Chains A and B, each alone.
Chain A
Amino acid sequence: MKYIIAIIQPDRLDEVIAALEEEEIILITVSDVMGRGRQKGVAEIYRSHVEKNKLLHKLKVEVAVNDEKQWQCVDAITRGARTGNIGDGKIFVLDLEQCLRIRTGETGVSAIA
C-alpha cells in the first residue's frame, strides 16, 4: 500500500479530482496549506498571494492506494495539476504500513478500496 501526498496549485483541484475519478480513485483528502518550493515563494503573477515568510497558498491532496494503483494515481494527479509553470507542485509517494476502516475494523488492502 502507498500513501501519496501531492502539493498542488489551488486552482487545479477540480482537474485533479476529475483525473483521479477517471482512474476510479475516489478516496481523497484535501487541505489548505502554506508552503514554498524551489521558487522560494515567488508567486507567479495571478496564481497566489504571498504571505508572511514568503509562503504561498497551496492545496495538499492525500490519497491511499494499493500498490498496483500507485502509478495510475501519480499519473492522474500529474495530468490534472500540470500547467508547465513554476509552482505546479510536487508528489510524494510513501510506503503505507497499515490501514484500518474504523466502522468495520477491516485492515489492509480491503480497507482502502
Chain B
Amino acid sequence: MADINTGDTAWMIVSTALVMLMTPGLAFFYGGLVRRKNVLSIMMQCFMLIGVISVQWVLFGYSLAFSPDHGGVIGGFSWAALNGVGLAPNADYAATIPHQLFMIFQMMFAVITPALIIGAFAERMKFSAFLVFSVLWATIVYDPMAHWVWGIGGWLRDFGALDFAGGTVVHINAGMAALAAALVMGKRKGYPETSPPHNLPFAILGAALLWFGWFGFNAGSALGSGGLSVSAFIATHMGAAAAALAWAVLEWITRKKPTALGIISGAVAGLVAITPASGFVTPLGAMGVGALAGLVCYVAVVVVKGKLGYDDSLDAFGVHGIGGMVGALATGLWATTVINPLGADGVFHGSGMLLVKQIAAVAVCAAYSFVLSWILLKVVDKTMGLRVSEHEENIGLDLTQHRESAYTVVG
C-alpha cells in the first residue's frame, strides 16, 4: 500500500465526516420549516435514511453503482457486501486513498440524496411507505444514475458532460423525484393556507450545517488534498455567498423586506448550483453561478410554484431540482480548463459544445428520475398507501407515526 497518500487520506476521512453531517443538518433545516407537530417525523426520516441506506450501500448499493460495468448502465453484484473492496487503492476511482474510503465517502452521498426528497412529501407521508419508497428509490433510481455519471464505463462519464460533485446524481435526481412526489401525494390539508415555519432558528442552524458539510461534499470530490480541492472549496463558498446575497436583495426589492428564511434558501440554492461546477470554475465564475441560481430559484419558489399550485412543501424541487439544473447549465457557461485541465471550456471561455452536452445530460437524467420515481410512488401507493389518514394528518406525524412529541407544555 505504498501508493496511499496520507495527506489525501486524511482530507478524505474529514470530508466523509463533513458530508455525513449534512443529513442531520438537513433534518434541522427541514425540521424547522414544518409545523411543531411534525418536526420529529422529519428528523426521524433523516436519521432512518442514515441507518438504512448505509446498510443498503455496503450490502449491494455500492456494488450496483461502482462495480464493473454492464452496458454503460449499471454495475453488478461482484462487489456486494464489499467483496474485493479493501484498503488498497482502486486506481480507476481514487489512486491515492484506500478503496474503502472512496466507498464510504460515496455512501454519504447515497444517504443524503433520498433525504432531500423528504421536503416534497413532508407532513403527510406514512413512515412505513416512506421507508419502502426510499430503499426502492435508492436501488432503482440512485444507484444506476450514480453508475452512469461516476462508474467506470458509465455512459454519461464517457459522454463528456461535466458534473464535479454530483449536481446531476444528487440534486437534479432528488429534485425530480420531489416533483413526482408532490404531484402523486397531493397537497397537505389546508394548503396553501398552512402555518409558517415553527422554528426558523432550527432552519438556520440546519442551513449552516449544510454549508459547512458542503465543503466536504465539493472539495472532497477532488478525491485528494491539493490545488483542485482548494479551488473547489473557494468556489463552493462563493457560490453560496453570491446566491444568499442575490436572494436577499431580490426579496428586498420585490417584497419590501429581506427575510432570514429567504437568505438561507438562497444559500442552499447556491450550494446546489455550484456542486457540478465547483471543480471547473474560477472564484468569479462561482459567484456568477451562485447569483444566477439565487435569481432563478427565487422565481421558481416564490412566483412559479404558487401559480402551478402543487405542494412541494419545503421546496425540494424548487431549490434542488431547479438549482441543480441551473448549476449543470451554468457549468457549460463558466467552466474553464485553466482551473481543471481534465474539464472543458464553457461558453464564456470560447466553446459552446460543453453547454450542449450539459443540456443533453440534464434532460436524460431528469426524465429518468421523474418517470421512475413516479412509477415507484404509484406502486407503493397501490400496495400500502402513501398518505396518512386525514385524522392522523391533523394530529401530526410525530404522535401518529412515532408516538412522541417534540415539545412539552409544562415542565
Contact = CB atoms under 8 A, between A and B. Distances in A.
Interface of B is mostly: loop
Contacts, number: 34
Interface stretch (A44-52, A70-78, A89-97): A44-52
Interface in B52-96: none
A1 B267 CA distance: 54
B405 interface: yes
Contacts of B399: 46-49
Interface residues of B, number: 15
B364 interface: no
Interface in B257-294: none
A106 interface: no
A49 B405 contact: yes
Interface in B372-411: 391-392, 394-396, 399-400, 403-405, 408-411
Given A11-B395, A14-B394, A46 B411 contact: no
Given A51-B408, A57-B409, A11 B394 contact: yes
Contacts of A11: 391, 394-396
Contact of A46 (B190, B395, B408, B409): B395
A99 interface: no
Nearest to B405: A49
Nearest to B398: A49
A32 interface: yes
Interface in A46-94: 46-49, 51-52, 55, 57
A52 B394 contact: no
Interface of B: 190, 391-392, 394-396, 399-400, 403-405, 408-411
Interface of A: 10-12, 14, 32-34, 45-49, 51-52, 55, 57
